[in-house]
Amino acid sequence: MCGIAGIMGSNRVDAIKKMTDIMIYRGPDDSGFYYDDDIALGQRRLSIIDLHSGRQPISNEDDTLQLVCNGEIYNSPALRESLISKGHRFKTATDVEVILHLYEEYGDDCVTQLRGMFAFAIWDMRKRRLFMARDHLGQKPLFFCQQNGGFTFASEVKSILASGITQAEIDLEGLWHYLSLRYMPDHHSMFKGIHKLPAAHYLVLENNQLSINRYWTVDFKDKTSASKEEITDQLDELLRETVKDHLLSDVRVGAFLSGGIDSGIVASMMAVLGEKNLPHFSIGSKEKEFNELPYARMVSEKYGMEAHEKIIEPDLIHTIPSLIYHMDEPADPFGFGVYLVSELAAKHVKVVLGGDGGDENFAGYDRYSGQRLVDYYCLLPQWFRQNIVKKITDRIPESFGYKSLAQKAAWVNEMSLFSGGERYAQSLGVLRFTHESKHKLFTESAIQSLGDPSSAEKILHYFNADNADDVVDKMLYTDLMTRIPDHILMIADRMTMAHSLESRAPLIDYKVVEFAATIPANLKLNNRALKGNHLKYILREVAARYLPQELVTLKKQGFRFPLGIWFRTDLKNFLRRLFAQSRFVELGLFEKSYIDTLLDEHISGKVDHNYRIWVLLNLEFWYRMYFEGETVESMKAFSDQLA
């Protein structure tokens, strides 16, 4: 695990050192460099496998290929054995060296042999050719920029900015999509000219020509004919095998344990597979409705794990600058929990396994079943829904709590105006900024320069694909191709690496994804299940073999805090003062009157706008840090001045 970087063009030697130094937290144990007349490669290393001789860059037998890689290759032992039988000689015992020899054997198709999480670059000296690739689901990040006669790549945007090849400029289209989707889709970053290599893609730069190709996707049409019991057995066996592979390490491995079934299954399997006194890391809050520690303890006590727990009181305003610095973009509330539990874990281990991907793979979110609920609601005539029911639901008082009744009622009524993929696309942005609300937020001149792009198209591109028939599978495929790489795994990578911690996600291993796609949709979202277990039905069947029954039937909670209430009380004056000097208003991008309306309606209790206010708050911090040179510490001081 590490941070990687490379640059082609002038000032390579000076630039590569700056690029690696700025992300030292991704690899505090070591650094390594390679230079020739065309390219400079650099790496910061967090030593996990082959602690003493696994330095990068790594070359092949005749030193004609140079590799820098961020990640872990879980099937490397089998690959190494196969490659040695074909005559390849290895210089190190590290897992990633197999990539070099696979490239020698299979060329660009080498990526199809890998099972793991990775972002790597190979410099082919003979062909003067750069080959880069990113893992199937996008667990490891990789950005690139081709400007001003040069080319650079890195694990993080800030590293590319440090190269000097480009200057920071807002990607307005990316910002437009972010406000609806909560993440930067496909190739976008928050910075114009700096692109993200999408998950499951490889890039080739040769003769100054750049090409990008997809090497993997998943098909939901080929369904298994096995019985529910057989599928449960097969899934259990596959998950055990995958968890075992993810334990590959020369250092101690721990587990994130939240109290939900996803992390519970992973941690339990780790214990069953022989991890004695398994260290687990859990955080909780003083508010009982937000605290999952009692459920995490049930798993911990059942398997005799080594518990590391912490009750936290999030210092919201002072923590946001740290989150933004490590994410290179606005922070997400989900990131707080990951950041704080990673801080705890990093004091004890270098590697943790978690439950990321269980919801997107096996249908664990309310919005999946919510689509069916809207279908039933649509049996009422539209005039009745819009003229009678809406007047009733609009009068439901807002509690400003998580998934409040007022929010749910408004969501169902709003979604009934759409159908199919359009409904799903709208559902992802309705609590943030819809297409209509962005037209109120952005100035007319900003919209004219943008050309009014459609964020819904980023969703419909996948929802309307021909590799899934059932609406549940269409939603899952869409999330696997968008939300997983661009939101969930992106946050997990940045927030763990902020503390020099490697996170692994067995539930999103691509073999697990492929198997889950063969499971009939009604065994993931089972509306006939008893006791509210309709979400993640088949995964709960597996969980019942490992977890206490109370956890198997527990509704999804997740780490959260009462933003809506805080924005009306403790932080209302802070928000007023911050937005009174909004940089986005000064830039002529946002309308001040609309921001004021959002604040007024929220503080008065009329509408819960906490998701929208959160995004705008983060954008103000992000701009000051990346365009005005403010640091984490200076932003904390700035926050104190506004409080």
Q: How many angstroms separate the CA atoms of 89 and 76, rounded?
A: 14
Average pLDDT over residues 86-95: 92
- At 211-249, the pLDDT tens digits run 999 999 999 999 999 999 999 999 999 999 999 999 998
* 399 — pLDDT class (breaks 50, 70, 90): low
Domain 2-214 classification at class level: alpha beta
How much of the chain exceeds pLDDT 90, in percent?
72
Say if residues 529 and 514 touch (Cβ distance below 8 Å).
no
Say if residues 57 and 91 touch (Cβ distance below 8 Å).
no
* 533 — pLDDT class (breaks 50, 70, 90): low
- The number of helices, as runs of H, and strands, as runs of E, in the chain is 31, 17
- At 189-202, the pLDDT tens digits run 999 999 999 999 99
Of the options 3.10.180.10, 3.40.50.1820, 3.40.50.300, 3.40.50.620, the CATH number for the domain spanning 228-355+504-552: 3.40.50.620
**pLDDT reported for residue 582:** 98
Q: Where along the chain do its domains lie?
A: 2-214, 228-355+504-552, 366-477, 563-642
Specify the long-range contacts of residues 110-113, CB closer than 8 Å, at least 24 apart: 111/202, 111/215, 111/216, 112/215, 112/216, 113/79
- At 428-466, the pLDDT tens digits run 877 889 999 999 999 999 999 998 899 999 999 999 999
CA angle 46, 335, 165 (to 5 degrees): 60
Residue 478 has pLDDT above 80, yes or no: yes
* 71 — pLDDT class (breaks 50, 70, 90): very high
Residue 131 has pLDDT above 90, yes or no: yes
Residue 287 has pLDDT above 70, yes or no: no
Strands 150-154 and 195-196: unpaired
**pLDDT reported for residue 529:** 59
**pLDDT reported for residue 555:** 75
Residue 532 has pLDDT above 60, yes or no: no
Residue 185 has pLDDT above 90, yes or no: yes
**pLDDT reported for residue 606:** 87
Q: For the chain, give the mean pLDDT.
A: 91
Q: What is the pTM of this model?
A: 0.94
Residue 403 has pLDDT above 70, yes or no: no
The residues facing 306 across adjacent strands are 279
Q: Where are the beta strands (DSSP E) in 293-361?
A: 306-311, 351-353
Q: How many angstroms separate the CA atoms of 495 and 156, rounded?
A: 13
* 19 — pLDDT class (breaks 50, 70, 90): very high
- At 322-371, the pLDDT tens digits run 999 999 999 988 898 899 999 999 999 999 999 999 999 999 988 888 88
Task: Verify whether residue 2 is a known catalytic residue.
Answer: yes
Which member of 2, 69, 110, 145 is catalytic? 2
Residue 161 has pLDDT above 60, yes or no: yes
Residue 105 carries which DSSP code?
Answer: H
* 398 — pLDDT class (breaks 50, 70, 90): low
